[in-house]
Structure 1
């Protein structure tokens, strides 16, 4: 059993280890862009999708082909890809001093209303890795479609030690 108090006192890399979270390989672009850019002490990550090695893990709209639970899981996969991209860019997630912004875009059916429950899949993972004191505000939007027919795309901005 994991001692969550001990895990939260540790740095992000130690928390991942203590919680048994293995990051996927860092994502690679689907087009003409880079996965991460640092400007000053902020790291801007490209839109992160629920893919592993260019293989979609979920296809469809939440509230249609996918359930809220599927959407949450897709958000978790996308945030783990984001963390992997950040680690590859920074060398270590321990350099993150705060989550500056989280945006969660969810492909949904028109009458879907449970966006926050889906987005919590990403937010709760960030709390597990960085702690509540480093969590940001967020924006959650329902959209008609996302690249490749995927249900989730995340926007993440991290503050780091300069």
Structure 2
């Protein structure tokens, strides 16, 4: 089915992606799988004038890459602490988020994304990335809802929070 059988988690610095990462780390521990915490970035420097004048130097690709790398590291360490669990890799990749995550899903056991706010019983409006991944992913996609509560179990007390609500089974 899958070449690397890891759990791929889309990270973008929000609380919902942090919640997805916490859920995936717990799930990976139970399934004896690796976790790939993936943040996708794209170059979007603004150029102006007759020559290559950069209007916003902080948007230069090398600055953006470093900003995204720091954000990925900050998000992951905020979720799991200073010591990364075995099998957790942080990856910063360039491209369109839906395209990158969908491509990675071809070799993943599952793709894990954070879900936004919605009311139970009403079909949630999915964002562009979630909707695109649901359409194009080649593995199961788990959307961790915004209202998942985390409480540490015995094994996780030292390593971080755990979900008491399974987003798949309820």
With the length of structure 2 as denominator, give the TM-score of the two structures: 0.29
Q: Greater strand share, 1 or 2? A: 1
Greater RCO, 1 or 2 (C-alpha within 8 Å, sep 6+): 1
With the length of structure 1 as denominator, give the TM-score of the two structures: 0.30
Q: Which has the larger radius of gyration?
A: 2
